[in-house]
Amino acid sequence: MHLNHMPEAVLEAKNLRRKYRDVVAVDDVSILVHPGEVVGLLGPNGAGKTTTINMLLGILAPTEGSIRIDGSDLAHDRTEALEHTNFSAVYAQLPGNMTVYQNLKIFGLIYDVKDLERKIWDVIGRFDLKRFAHTKHGVLSSGEQTRASLAKALINEPKLLLLDEPTASLDPSTAQIVRETIKTYARKSRCGVLWTSHNMYEVTEVCDRVVFLSRGKLLIEGDPKTLPKEHGKKDLEELFITVAREPLSLDL
């Protein structure tokens, strides 16, 4: 994917900084995600990924910096910016006392989705949830709950999709189907996706570009297929380990 020929970014995060008292969790991080592009947000635990995502979702306000989503400034046009954003993570579960269908209906109403009934059954079909449509979310297996959460994440046809470890609880076969579903959606809907994962095989398969965070700073970025060799590593996993253990050893 050639970034020089891409249209305006669906996500433009500039110089983000987030301080907790004396601790700087994110320090001068800038991220662009273009329509139809899947970008991997990588780094070890504590690197600043979750803080960054929480700023992009409007849960945390940046100490410094700006965020534009599909052209709208998050600080000044919050409703408009978040209207075309959605999110899925294993730690952000849907209400367990409601069925899959009920959850999708409620989130569809929250997002004011047009033609909602058709959209509900469309995402149910995409994630193979038809037989669980009227089952309470809380009694589903962890993999089924993940698929329901991903269905919720597509209910408003987002222009920016934030996915935090979206396949962590899935078996390899289902994970591959989910990866293909998200990639196809991104390409056809011109949706930008920011995808965090510790599965470097998955990242190489799914992502057009990756950005590595280390200790709150953006360390390196590039094509996941070529970036390791640029830094003298055999693959993305070896590069990840170096970023986690010896970030200062990289030739930046």
Domain's final residue, options 130, 157, 184: 157
Asked whether residue 168 falls in the same domain as residue 152, the answer is no
d(CA 205, CA 210): 12
Asked whether residue 55 falls in the same domain as residue 153, the answer is no
pLDDT at position 2 is: 46
In a 10 Å sphere around its CB, with 0-12 CB exposed, 13-18 middle and 19+ buried, how is residue 169 labelled? middle
Domain's final residue, options 106, 131, 157: 157
Asked whether residue 174 falls in the same domain as residue 62, the answer is yes
Is residue 39, in this structure, part of any structural domain at all?
A: yes
Asked whether residue 194 falls in the same domain as residue 122, the answer is no
Query: 96-119 pLDDT, tens per residue?
Result: 999 999 999 999 999 999 999 999
Is residue 89, in this structure, part of any structural domain at all?
A: no
Range of the domain at 221: 3-84+158-249
Question: Could you count the other beta carbons within 10 Å of the beta carbon of residue 158?
Answer: 24
pLDDT in tens, the chain (252 residues): 444 445 589 999 999 999 998 899 999 999 999 999 999 999 999 899 999 999 999 999 999 999 999 999 999 999 999 999 999 988 888 999 999 999 999 999 999 999 999 999 999 999 999 999 999 999 999 999 999 999 999 999 999 999 999 998 899 999 999 999 999 999 999 999 999 999 999 999 999 999 999 999 999 999 999 999 999 999 999 999 999 988 777 765
d(CA 214, CA 216): 5
Asked whether residue 133 falls in the same domain as residue 166, the answer is no
Asked whether residue 164 falls in the same domain as residue 217, the answer is yes
Asked whether residue 15 falls in the same domain as residue 138, the answer is no
**How many domains does the chain fold into?**
2
Asked whether residue 141 falls in the same domain as residue 166, the answer is no
Asked whether residue 162 falls in the same domain as residue 66, the answer is yes
Domain's final residue, options 104, 124, 157: 157
**Helical spans, DSSP H, in the chain:** 49-56, 78-83, 100-110, 116-126, 142-154, 172-189, 200-206, 227-230, 236-245
For residue 191, list its beta bridge partners: none
Asked whether residue 100 falls in the same domain as residue 11, the answer is no
d(CA 151, CA 123): 5
Asked whether residue 73 falls in the same domain as residue 163, the answer is yes
Asked whether residue 8 falls in the same domain as residue 133, the answer is no
Is residue 178, in this structure, part of any structural domain at all?
A: yes
> Would you state the structure tokens that stand for residue 53, as one six-digit string?
């995502």
CATH number at residue 35: 3.40.50.300
Q: b/e string for 209-233 if b means 16 or more Cβ within 10 A?
A: bbbbbbbbbbbbbeebeebbeebeb
